[in-house]
Structure 1
Amino acid sequence: MRAKTIITLFAALTCILNSIKADCNVVTKKDWDGLEAVRVNYMARPVDLVIIQHTVSPFCKTDARCAELVRNIQNYHMDTLNLDDIGSNFYVGGNGKIYEGVGWLHVGAHTRGYNSRSIGISFIGNYNNDTPTTEQLDAVKALIKCGVDKGHLIADYHVVGHKQLIATESPGRKLYNKIRSWPQWMQDVSSLKQ
């Protein structure tokens, strides 16, 4: 009887953890054929900061191509940069789908000095050249709303562009121009600087 109870509890806990990991209509790491992390650090949640960036890779429009690019990014991060996993928490394709990176629960490796207190969302493409689609922008807004609803983000979170925190062109001029109109965008980031 006790063994059956333990198995039932283990199954229930596994279901709960999988639902947390794959919530918010995200294409899971398993679904895009991602590798498991070498090591993980858990994020203290909820956080109050969303950092928008771009991958400076080709743009993608199809499910197959977007998944391929996310795999390529993970391979580069793990094999060349020697990271424990893919860098950002989430990736958004030109197909309007969100791809799980390290997800809501784990600390990413996207913005030195801010990883343990933020969610990094990377748009697949180069947004100095590419224009973010309405589908991409709506998908990210829905992801963020879901993050608030699920307790991963605080209700009065802030959105910033990657370049506001470190010396980079990311998220690219065309994407940066879009996020600057979002009501949660934070213009003065001096209070965030360490």
Structure 2
Amino acid sequence: MQSIGSRIVDGTLVLVVVIVVVEIWQLKKPEGISDNDNQYPQDVEIFGPTAPPNITLVTRQSCNLKDPARFNSGKFTLKPTPLVIISHTVTPQCFKKEDCCKQVRSIQDYHMGANFEDIGYHFLVGGDGRVYEGRKWEEWGAFLVGFNCMIGVTFIGDFTIETPRHKQSLGAEKLLDELAKYGYLTRNYTVYGAKQLSNTVSPGPTVMNEIQKWPHWSSATDDVDAPCKAKP
């Protein structure tokens, strides 16, 4: 990437550069992978908005989320991670970045008010197709008991009746593609709706209808044991 200084021509161009920087979210190489392993780059910049397969990731800083209440010492037990748990937030839907950030902040406030260390989900997908960064991916989440050391992705909205927009479903699916591409998920990772593993309606029937179309979704749960009994 060219430096900002080399691109400054006038005030308008400076504003464009600042916007681009805000929309960048860097994926770091997972722990346990050698610096000499060229299969997974150390830093991968994903820009938005761009057409798929690229995705728009909005950082915690961009949404002005609070810092975690305390240090979370529980790292993922498995790297890369083999399971993804899909849920919904049971909140109003959002279709603009500012509205989605407001929802994400509200969810964080609610979770931290319930004595969570931080927002419970790792990623939240808005009706605008953007992916909003929640809890840092390497930290234990708080979205489904027994599975909080896996990756939790939630759809912003209440999908017991409402239907997610196509761009929302596509944004979630492309996020998982990118996470697998750069080593955060196993190549043969499995996607489950939260209701498949617990007594809950989440992620709602309309989101379940969507994720059942994804190639990594599985209906087989008989042999799935809760892998995250307690933090190490």
Shared fold by TM > 0.5?
yes
1:33-72 equivalence runs, <5 A: 33-37=64-68, 38-40=70-72, 41-43=74-76, 44-72=78-106
What are the ranges of 5 or more consecutive residues in structure 1 without an aligned counterpart?
1-17
Following superposition, the deviation at residue 130 of structure 1 comes to: 1.6
Distance in 1 (alpha carbons) for counterparts of 2:45 and 2:122: 13
Is the helix fraction higher in 1 or 2?
A: 1
Query: Does the 8 A contact of 1:62 with 1:95 survive in 2?
Result: yes
1:20 paired to 2:27: yes
Query: Does the 8 A contact of 2:173 with 2:214 survive in 1?
Result: no
Report the count of equivalent residues: 175
Distance in 1 (alpha carbons) for counterparts of 2:62 and 2:218: 34
What TM-score, normalized by structure 1, do the two folds share?
0.85
Matched with 1:90 is 123
Over aligned residues, Cα RMSD in angstroms?
1.6
Distance in 2 (alpha carbons) for counterparts of 1:188 and 1:110: 21
Following superposition, the deviation at residue 77 of structure 1 comes to: 0.1
What TM-score, normalized by structure 2, do the two folds share?
0.72
Higher mean C-alpha deviation, range 144-153 or range 34-43: 34-43
1:191 paired to 2:223: yes
Q: CA 1:23/1:98 → structure 2, altered by over 3 Å: closer, same or farther?
A: farther
Query: Does the 8 A contact of 1:59 with 1:130 survive in 2?
Result: no
Distance in 1 (alpha carbons) for counterparts of 2:138 and 2:131: 16
**Rg larger in 1 or in 2?**
2
AA partner of residue 121 (structure 1)? V
Higher mean C-alpha deviation, range 147-156 or range 21-30: 21-30
What are the ranges of 5 or more consecutive residues in structure 2 without an aligned counterpart?
1-24, 29-43, 47-55, 227-232
Following superposition, the deviation at residue 188 of structure 1 comes to: 1.3
* Greater relative CO (CA pairs within 8 A, separation 6+): 1
Distance in 1 (alpha carbons) for counterparts of 2:106 and 2:166: 25
